[in-house]
Amino acid sequence: MNVARMRRLGRRLVELSKTAAGETKGPPLTPGEEAVFEDALRHPGSTVGEIQARTGFVQSHVSASVARMRERGLVRTAPDPDDGRRTQVTVTEPALNAVHRRAARPVAEAVRAAVGDDPERAARVVALLEELETLLVTD
């Protein structure tokens, strides 16, 4: 395997995970908003500047993404108690609950559809994915 094939595999796995997770309410997040949302999910109470540093996006992009997600009820913001000029970002309870519900959905059906409805092949793919997870996912 080379880098190009690994990236292609990664994109395909993202597509499969979105299929398995199902539709979300409201318009989908842009890829940039997804990255900001995921960072806020992993680091509750982070400031916009901290999110900017971890994601690599310019601060104006992070701020705009946060504002759009706040309007949709996905995140809430509050002044940083240590420095009122900074804004802290936290994922809202309803959004957090939705993430947990979607994350808990099994992937077997989406995998089965992707491999041509062959149950044995689908089971093998799921087993390989589980093995890769144990080998590569450390959090």
Interval 19-34 mean pLDDT = 84
53: closest CA among 34, 35, 78, 73?
35
d(CA 40, CA 51): 7
Domains of the chain: 1-22+106-139 (no CATH), 26-104 (1.10.10.10)
Residue 23 scores a pLDDT above 80: no
Q: Rounded mean pLDDT of 101-119?
A: 88
Does the pLDDT at position 78 exceed 90? yes
Specify burial of residue 123 (Cβ count, 10 A radius: 0-12, 13-18, 19+).
Answer: middle
Question: What mean pLDDT, rounded, does the chain reach?
Answer: 92
Kindly report whether the global pTM for this prediction surpasses the value 0.85: no
pLDDT of 29 reads 87
Quick one: average pLDDT of 46-69? 95
